[in-house]
Structure 1
Amino acid sequence: MKFKKYIFLSFALFLTLSLHARQTNWVEVEPGIWKAVIGKPEPYNLLTASGVGPYHEGLTKLKPAEFPLSKNEITAKIIDGKTYLRFPLDRGEQLYGFGLNFKTVNQRGRILELHVDHYNGSDNGRTHSPTPFYVSSKGYGIFINSARYLKVYAGAAVRRDSKNPPVVQDRNTDPDWNPHPYSDGVEILVPAEGVEFYVIGGPTAMNAVQRFNLFNGGGCLPPRWGLGFTQRLERMTDASGVAAEAKAFEDKGYPLDFIGLEPGWQSKSYPNTFEWDAKRFPEPEKLVKEMLHKNIRLNLWINPYVSPDAPIYKKILPYTASHTVWAGLVPDLKTDSARKFLFGTLEKNKIDIGISGYKIDEVDGGDSYLWPDLATFPSGIPAEQMRQTYGLLMQRYTTELYQKRNLRTYGLVRASNAGGVSFPYVIYNDYYNHQDFITALINSGFSGVLWTPEVRASNLPEEWVRRFQSNVFSPMAMINAWASGTKPWTFPEVAPIIKRFALLRMQMMPYWYSEFARYHFEGIPPFRAMNLEPGFQDLVSVKEAKNLNLEENPYAKAITSEIKDQYMAGENLLVAPMFTGQKSRKVILPAGKWFDFYTGKYAGGGEVINITPGLDQIPVYVKDGGIIPMGKPLLHAPKAGEKVDLEIRYYGTKPGEYKLYDDDGETFNYQKGDYSFRTIKVSKVNGKLLGSISKAEKNKPNSVGKITYKMMTL
């Protein structure tokens, strides 16, 4: 009996060692991206769900990268039908990512279960986009391509055989006893008998993020109108209310590019019929045409759950899950028939009459109402995997409806994941903490998603202004008034401030559009953490520095804590939002010179500054040599081919250069090369401004009208 037990244990050890040996066969699948496989990966994963492929051309333009880790220290094994992965961590190394977190930026030391869900106020891995990708401060990334619920110990578990074990402490006598001993590894449990995973090179953290985004197809490029201003109306607004809203914006001089219609546009919702309510919207095609004539588009709220009263109910029934949501059918989006019926109804009498896009709600979670993990789907995809990817599938197939019409869309969604980088959707939720919204905006740059700190309602005029200001410096400038009915002018005493920032959003469209182009072509997130900015001192190296003289270096003291209330917006802007009740704040300015966005005055560099801005400003700073192309304060985004005069604002003293992007702003023709980058150069010589822009390419889009140059720093 002992001999048989010995044989069994020897075989198990051999199997484990064999699997470990196989996973060390790294293959460079794209420049700077290496893939390994352990066991038998499941055929359905995040990349197969999204259907996207790498943007190879963008990846080849990045600087070469070496394999960033010791291959011998990356281990993988399969035990009891589960895959165990381990990646090494150095002392002082920090980790970022693991999805859309709302309270924390630094993730080292955390334990997470990456699980698509609505956010309930705790960074525990259950969130709208629990992306299984993390970035190291050492300049590399790790991506696990699994559609399962992953358990992550991000430097939070200590192995007995650790090469760098924690110091043993005696709690009886050590006042600095730490209940969380030092860990030198990231360990990830995948509940499957195999997985494919990737090591993504740098050499910087930003380069690793770029490679991840480009590997997932490159960032989305919204239509110009998507970067304008949107107002979502109260849920039972009718056609006359839509027209009245549009007229009020025009009469009061507030910009408006698209209007969102909430559940009341449908005859029944929760579950949905996906049909216009005949009383509230008797002539939807006429309404859409009237709005388009005013350069205003309409966006429709949906969730995918089918009412028994929906025309497609009986047809789609055989292709739905075993369980319902709000008594509505859950279409199995991995079956051709379910997609045909669901997306066919989203197209008929909606997209084909000019509806610009969708707001896709409730595809994230809520265990009390979503399908349970024991549900079954006709395609055979497990309920767990369906939950992890349902938001991806909804984004994928709605985007395809617009792609076949060669028209871009821009919408909202409640759930995403790795693979969704290129989809033109912005995440939102029902949570409403302003500070946490900004932290989420910061973390979105590590996760390949976009996030809007939307404005809904406020108790005070001050809160209304502060929320609105940060919303203007985000991927989607939106008031979501589905429940509150608020308007930009709801607080008359601050309406002039609100109008100025709404128009500023429109003036900055050339800048925002160019930054989103960089997201697509180069993989650089348009909104991102300070940790990715060159010149921003590493948090941990300062925190662990010996003999730190805080009197000589107050900058070091400021960044020993987590930075989650300021961020980079595009190439040249640093944004530091103000929150209700806050009269002053500290801003950390990276190395180099930084200048006030509004006045051009020198603000500082490589230091912490204390500022006391009035209610009429959100603190924004421009790096030395920064160029911000500004357009006119239009009420609607420019149409395709429309010429727009530009004012090129230049800050600081260092010569500056900027790539201004241009295409038709509405179609996918840029994917065929129908676009241009024009180089703007500005310098100051003997106190005089010298500016130039490269010539427009022949037979390429050119929406640039008259150009003037403005020296902001005198």
Structure 2
Amino acid sequence: MKIKRLISIVACWLALYTASGQIQWKQVEPGVWKGMVGKPEAYSLLGVSGAAPLKEGFKLLPEVGLPAMASGVVSRIEAGKAMLRLPLRKEEQLYGFGLNFQTVHQRGKILNLHVDHYGGKDTGRTHAPVPFYVSSAGYGVFINSARYLTVYAGSAARKDSPEKPVAKDRNTDKSWSSQQYSDAVEILIPAEGVEIYLFAGPTPLDVIRRYNLLCGGGTLPPRWGLGFTQRTQKLYDAVQVEKEAEEFEEKGYPLDFIGLEPGWQSKAYPCSFEWDKGRFPDAEAFVGRMRKKGVRINLWTNPYVSPASGIYKDMYPYSGSHTVWCGIVPDWGMEQARRIWTDKLEKEHITIGVSGYKIDEVDGYDRYIWPDVATFPSGLSAEQLRQTYGLWVQRITADIYKKHNQRTFGLVRASNGGGNSFPYVLYNDYYSHRDFITALVNSGFCGVLWTPEVRSSKSAEDWLRRFQSVVFSPMAMINAWASGTKPWTFPEVAEQVREYALLRMQMIPYWYSEFAKYHFEGTPPFRAMNLEPGFESGRATYKEEVKNKNLEDNPYLEAVGKEVKDQYMAGEYLLVAPMFERETQRTVVLPKGNWYDFYTGEYAGNGEVITVKPGLDRIPVYVKDGAIIPMMEPKLHAPKAGEKINLEIRHYGMAESSYRLYDDDGETFNYENGAYSWRSVTVSRTPEGKLKGNIGRAKKGYPDNIGKVTWRFMTN
């Protein structure tokens, strides 16, 4: 009966869209299929990113067939626009559609996927409006279009749908809802065709792995990128920067790279890309002195060219019709523009030792970015460049470092589909701690990295809570460009801040291994609880609740899905549950299986909701049974290439287990030629029933940066 019912539904679906009809699917990688609708545009997200699939990673994933829903995907072309309709079952939940800040569940949303500065609501206008979504049913969809897309994510019901909703009487039926049930995702693409990719699981996490691998695998930062970074005030000069680095050293706070904000440039807003001779009279010597201190330099910029810049005249013919802050806008669709900017950055920054960039304002607001009526000499539309400008600046700068065989790690304000392998972390000017954590949760669904950066606080409590969160994120950073804050700004919590900064350094072996899995296997290092095995089973994750039943305030009794958006997984084993200002306790949802306290090794629970009161000094962190966490000594700087480190390997719980510890030189791309090693770490029981640890040897001729190894069994 189920098969007959499915055939009937598919037949009805195909009858709905007859202009173009059913899509033909071609397998392009294991578990990945591509479909063509109409005449896809040559300019696309994957084309701009230059992503090449990381084929070796696909071999690690289960064999799968084309998702069953594929036969129900239909399209039509009308008035120069492509429309897609993709089936949904009642029990499905949707995740993704870019970097959202307030919601994890996306079913029922209407989104306009549009690169922009985040404005406080999840509307689709965000820093990374990645047109990729994941279903709880174990498949994913990616739309390879550099256009503004409109998505009806199960929010619109057709009158002839085979699963159309049933009319209810609002007067008497308490189950009536203004949000009617829909059995489809519908997407409007303002182009005469588009490429669409389908990903099979079998699990949602496997879907994400395949998407990341299709886009080149996740980035593998240098080890120093996973240390601690401080961004200085905007007009600091060389003397002030060096003094700040010395303060870190004297006070015992770790520091791996310092970010210089706009004042390093002779002109900013728009930018000259040239050193200010007053504040930095000898930039090369300054960068060299900082490197000797163990601190690298990262430079803030935006790409809008000042009339005072040495490249203004050459760039002018290859720029758009409109300006940003009176600076010309390079047309990255033209090789000449890319070459001019590349030469400038390479000769004046990278060859003197600058280690990375923070690339600002490539997202929006509409009031200062170029308008959609702007024209560009490449013939690309303003819309297409808006959707891909963040991808371009990442690709251009990353390519320079690749040419020099140096890894980099920086910040950028916009990205999009295909940018998964770029060594950049997203940030913005919004400053909600809670929403920052939700963005970190969502980042794992869309192939980007996000930092809940620390900038300023009105209280020591808020300062410490924010700092605790950022330590368990892709980039541990204080951004003091405006406030001038330092880790010790609030003396009453300075020691706790120092403790967590050093913990970040101790955990570099763990973070580095987890980022290696991101690169080679596609597993996001920071991800939602919904992707954790044992989390969804038996939970009311998808039940809807009406929070506000006051008909004056909520006249249509809008229901909202219950979400877990304030805790997340960090790497293979850690569950992080941040605390927020004025909170003394919180609930933590533990997946099935035994979980233990990260700090003490004590048992915490199994598949239950617990309430914790950690005190101000602790951010709640839990580990799975059998967790193996490799940690190093609490150094003030990340290990250099070839530097031996001593390890303390921690084991939690009672289960026998294993872990794969990654090692390479930590700085170059030599790993792409096989210069890396995975060390097998195992914990097993002796005949007497005691736990015993073992670490495998590195293969002869392969990286071996591990010195003395000690074991610590956290659970007695």
TM-score by shorter chain over 0.5: yes
Q: Is the 8 A contact 1:531 1:538 kept in 2?
A: no
Q: Which residue of 2 aligns with 1:700?
A: 702
Question: Per the alignment, in what secondary structure is the counterpart of residue 398 of structure 1?
Answer: helix
Question: Per the alignment, in what secondary structure is the counterpart of residue 580 of structure 2?
Answer: coil
Separation in 1 of the partners of 2:440 and 2:223? 21
1:344 Cα deviation after fit: 1.3
Q: Is the 8 A contact 2:20 2:74 kept in 1?
A: no
Q: Which residue of 2 aligns with 1:402?
A: 401
- Deviation track 1:366-388 (CA, whole Å, cap 9, x = no partner) reads 10010011111111111101000
Q: Which residue of 2 aligns with 1:624?
A: 625
1:561 Cα deviation after fit: 1.9
Aligned-partner residue type, residue 563 of structure 2: E
Q: How many residues align?
A: 687
Q: Which residue of 2 aligns with 1:712?
A: 714
Aligned-partner residue type, residue 188 of structure 1: I
Q: Which residue of 2 aligns with 1:647?
A: 648
Aligned-partner residue type, residue 396 of structure 2: Y
Q: Is the 8 A contact 1:92 1:540 kept in 2?
A: no
Q: Which residue of 1 aligns with 2:556?
A: none
1:92 Cα deviation after fit: 1.6
Q: Which residue of 2 aligns with 1:548?
A: none
Higher deviation after alignment, 125-134 or 344-353: 344-353
Q: Gapped runs of 5+ residues in structure 2?
A: 1-13, 545-559
Aligned-partner residue type, residue 622 of structure 1: V
Separation in 2 of the partners of 1:186 and 1:538? 24
Distance 1:540 1:181, change over 3 A: farther
> Residue 43 in 1 paired to residue 42 in 2?
yes
Matches for 1:70-89 after TM superposition, within 5 Å: 70-89=69-88
Distance 1:569 1:204, change over 3 A: same
1:295 Cα deviation after fit: 1.1
Q: Which residue of 2 aligns with 1:582?
A: 583
Q: Gapped runs of 5+ residues in structure 1?
A: 1-12, 546-558
Question: Per the alignment, in what secondary structure is the counterpart of residue 49 of structure 1?
Answer: helix
Separation in 2 of the partners of 1:97 and 1:71? 19
Q: Which residue of 2 aligns with 1:146?
A: 145
Aligned-partner residue type, residue 671 of structure 2: Y
Name the Cα RMSD after superposition.
1.5
Separation in 1 of the partners of 2:367 and 2:541? 45
1:540 Cα deviation after fit: 7.3
TM-score by length of 2: 0.94
Q: Is the 8 A contact 1:93 1:540 kept in 2?
A: no
Matches for 1:308-319 after TM superposition, within 5 Å: 308-319=307-318
Aligned-partner residue type, residue 419 of structure 1: G
1:153 Cα deviation after fit: 0.3
Separation in 1 of the partners of 2:695 and 2:213? 28
Q: Which residue of 1 aligns with 2:459?
A: 460
> Residue 202 in 1 paired to residue 207 in 2?
no
Question: Per the alignment, in what secondary structure is the counterpart of residue 322 of structure 1?
Answer: strand
Distance 1:590 1:540, change over 3 A: closer
Q: Which residue of 2 aligns with 1:66?
A: 65
1:689 Cα deviation after fit: 2.8
Q: Percent identity?
A: 63
Aligned-partner residue type, residue 651 of structure 2: Y
1:60 Cα deviation after fit: 2.3
Aligned-partner residue type, residue 20 of structure 1: G
Question: Per the alignment, in what secondary structure is the counterpart of residue 162 of structure 1?
Answer: coil
Q: Which residue of 2 aligns with 1:657?
A: 658
1:339 Cα deviation after fit: 1.2
Q: Which residue of 2 aligns with 1:591?
A: 592
Question: Per the alignment, in what secondary structure is the counterpart of residue 436 of structure 1?
Answer: helix
Separation in 2 of the partners of 1:209 and 1:576? 23
1:335 Cα deviation after fit: 1.1
Separation in 1 of the partners of 2:615 and 2:85? 50
Separation in 2 of the partners of 1:321 and 1:305? 11
Q: Which residue of 2 aligns with 1:492?
A: 491
Q: Is the 8 A contact 2:16 2:160 kept in 1?
A: no
Matches for 1:49-448 after TM superposition, within 5 Å: 49-448=48-447
Q: Is the 8 A contact 2:25 2:35 kept in 1?
A: yes
Separation in 1 of the partners of 2:345 and 2:543? 55
Question: Per the alignment, in what secondary structure is the counterpart of residue 27 of structure 1?
Answer: strand
- Deviation track 1:233-270 (CA, whole Å, cap 9, x = no partner) reads 00000000111011000000000000000000001100
1:172 Cα deviation after fit: 2.8
1:52 Cα deviation after fit: 1.1
- Deviation track 1:532-554 (CA, whole Å, cap 9, x = no partner) reads 00010258766559xxxxxxxxx
1:163 Cα deviation after fit: 1.0
Separation in 1 of the partners of 2:634 and 2:166? 61
Distance 1:94 1:635, change over 3 A: same
TM-score by length of 1: 0.95
- Deviation track 1:368-414 (CA, whole Å, cap 9, x = no partner) reads 01001111111111110100000000000100000000000000000
Q: Is the 8 A contact 2:588 2:612 kept in 1?
A: yes
Aligned-partner residue type, residue 616 of structure 1: D
Q: Which residue of 2 aligns with 1:555?
A: none
Aligned-partner residue type, residue 183 of structure 1: S
Separation in 1 of the partners of 2:174 and 2:610? 35
Separation in 1 of the partners of 2:109 and 2:365? 23
- Deviation track 1:680-713 (CA, whole Å, cap 9, x = no partner) reads 0013444533111111111111110000111000
Q: Is the 8 A contact 2:105 2:561 kept in 1?
A: no
1:203 Cα deviation after fit: 0.4
1:18 Cα deviation after fit: 6.3
Matches for 1:439-588 after TM superposition, within 5 Å: 439-538=438-537, 543=542, 561-588=562-589
Question: Per the alignment, in what secondary structure is the counterpart of residue 513 of structure 2?
Answer: helix
Q: Is the 8 A contact 1:94 1:540 kept in 2?
A: no
Question: Per the alignment, in what secondary structure is the counterpart of residue 469 of structure 2?
Answer: helix
Separation in 1 of the partners of 2:207 and 2:374? 37
1:346 Cα deviation after fit: 1.3
Question: Per the alignment, in what secondary structure is the counterpart of residue 115 of structure 1?
Answer: strand
Aligned-partner residue type, residue 650 of structure 2: R
Q: Is the 8 A contact 1:507 1:633 kept in 2?
A: yes
Higher deviation after alignment, 686-695 or 31-40: 686-695
Aligned-partner residue type, residue 705 of structure 1: G
Q: Is the 8 A contact 2:96 2:104 kept in 1?
A: yes
Q: Is the 8 A contact 1:653 1:684 kept in 2?
A: no
Separation in 2 of the partners of 1:391 and 1:664? 29
Separation in 2 of the partners of 1:565 and 1:493? 26
Q: Is the 8 A contact 1:288 1:297 kept in 2?
A: yes
Q: Which residue of 2 aligns with 1:553?
A: none
Aligned-partner residue type, residue 135 of structure 1: V
Moved over 6 A (4+): 13-16
